[in-house]
Every structure is written in C-alpha cells, then in structure tokens.
Amino acid sequence: MIGVDDLAGLLETLCPMFVLINDAGRITQVGPILQKLRPDRPMAGEHFLNVFELQRPRSVTNLSTLTSTPGTRLHLRFQDAPRTGLKGLIAPLPGGGGAVINLSFGISILEAVRDYALTSADFSGTDLAIELLYLVEAKSAAMEASRSLNLRLQGAMLAAEEQAYTDTLTDLKNRRAMDHILGHLISMKSSFALMHLDLDFFKSVNDRLGHAAGDHVLKQAARIMLEETRGEDTVARVGGDEFVLIFKGMTDRNKLGGIARRLIQHLSEPMQFEGEACQISASIGTALSTQFDTLKAVDILHAADLALYAAKRSGRSCHRFYSEPSTARHPG
C-alpha cells in the first residue's frame, strides 16, 4: 500500500495544486504551486476552512460531511485577499484517514496568472490550463497586432486624406478642401464671408527671377494670410496665384475691410529671394453669405469674383465688396 509521503510525492508531480487534509480537517500538505499563491502563509497545520471559504455545495457546513461523499465538486475561494476563486474535486483517502482535494483556477485562471505572475511551468504538463494560456497569449498577440495594424492604416488614411485636401507647395487647403468646407457651411446655414484674393504682379516675378522665386513668394503670401486669419477660418490656394479665404461667422464689413487692408499692406512689402526683391501686391473681392436669400456655392464664388474684378479695375491693390444688383439678390 502506498504511504502518505509517497502519495504526496506523486501528487506534487501530477497535481501541483493539491491539498491533503486529515480526518480533523487540518491541512497536512499542499502542492508547491498552491503554496506559491500564499508564500508568506504556510498552509500546513491550518484548518482547511480557515484558509478557504466554501461556496458550494451550500448545504455542506463541515468537512466530515464533505469527505463522506467522494467526487464532490467544490467551489471555493481564499479567505484573505486576493480572494481568488478556485474549483476542486475531493477524494477521501482509504480507511478514513482524511482526503485529497485537487484544486484548479477554473475561469479565474487569467486573473490568477495576472495576480501571481504564474507561467506554464507552474501547471501540470497535462493541465488544459496550459492550452488555455497559450490560446489567450496567441489571441492577445493577434489582437495587439491587429490594433497596431489598424492604427497604422488609420494613420495612413488620415495622412492620405490630409494630402488630398492640402496644397503641397504652401500647405494651405486646396480647391477640393475649400469646396467641402463651403458646402458644409451652406448646408448648416452658417453665416460667413468669402474673400477671393489674387496676387498682383506675380507673373513678373516668375518672368524676371524664375519659378523658384515665384514659389518662395507663394509660400510667404500663404504665411501672411494665415497670420491675418483665425484658427476657425479657411485659407485655400485655388489656382496658381489665387486664394480663397472663408471667415466663419464673420459678416461685419468694418472688420473684413480691416483684414483686407492689412493683407494688401503686408503683401505689398518686398519679399527677399536670394538677394533680389520680389514686389507684388493683392486685389481682393469679398461676398457675404447674408447677401443671398437662397445661398449656393457657385453664386457666392461668382459674387466674390465680380468684386475682385471691380478691385482690379480700380487700379489693383484694392479691396471691394460685392454689390448686390438692385433687381435680385443673386449675382446673375
């Protein structure tokens, strides 16, 4: 007949979370992994129910009743924190000398691995928990890879979308972005002002100093326009030397006139390029969304164009507001 010591040795190999109790319900030996869960509290010598809280079966209140029913399935947890949940199976020893209780984590295994820093070496080689841990690890790795890929794809999509709406030379919005923003403002029935700005004498810079100088002038002009506008405003390059500025929520002619004057003043200051002075100016036409009973993008753009042409006819370096025809509130 196998002795208790031999039995304990076998259990340590096969069931590293076993508990041996005597007929008085006191723990005589525990498996190495179970003791690892409470490294500062030796379990041997303690009463089983002082270490573990029996949750099921609820009808059982003492171990003598429990050990009298072989194969009884247990649901229990530690009395102290962390109160890890455990499952067990009890097998009485022959001759009424106590019982063996084999414990496992059950569905609490993930919390246990986290709380006690367990590894696969802490489980029996035949324990299905090992397979579960591998599956969880593989799933976690796959989810992390998927999350990382999604973030990269999202970043690439945002970058592509930003590029699609950005003028590559000046980093301003482009015509497509301007159309999108203008359509949104109209659909939301927002009030706004739209300026059409054209650089005067820009062609002479290109002809005299080359396209590199022209590109430099465009970048400097873009910087000036951004400095004279707010964060919620839109500055878009819609042509070679043509720009559209949209001022959300602003229809005050005095404020808009002041912005236009400052733009013309700053754009008229010579811009240095490789020791050469690049002299340009700007003509500006402005239309207000409030000038239209039924607002369409094509109408307000055309109205700003008409105001711009009026500014150029006035000698350039000028700003004009769109004047509504007396017979109808649209540009015609």
Place of tokens 């002041």: 258
User: What tokens does 66 get?
Assistant: 């429990």
Helices 297-313 and 175-187: angle between axes, nearest 10 degrees: 120
Cα–Cα dist 184/50, whole Å? 69
Cα–Cα dist 228/6, whole Å? 89
Place of tokens 């490789």: 274
Q: The dihedral of CA 57, 60, 61, 67: what is its sign?
A: negative
Cα–Cα dist 234/316, whole Å? 24
Cα–Cα dist 120/142, whole Å? 20
**Catalytic residue set:** 241
Residue 315, Ramachandran bin (φ over 0: left; ψ between -120 and 50: alpha; else beta):
left
Ordered DSSP codes for 304-327: HHHHHHHHHHTTSS-EEEPPPPSS
Cα–Cα dist 94/151, whole Å? 61
Q: Give the CB-side neighbour count of residue 60, counting CA atoms within 13 A.
A: 19
135 vs 103, 129, 139, 166, 232, CA distance in Å?
22, 10, 6, 46, 50
Q: The dihedral of CA 114, 116, 117, 118: what is its sign?
A: negative
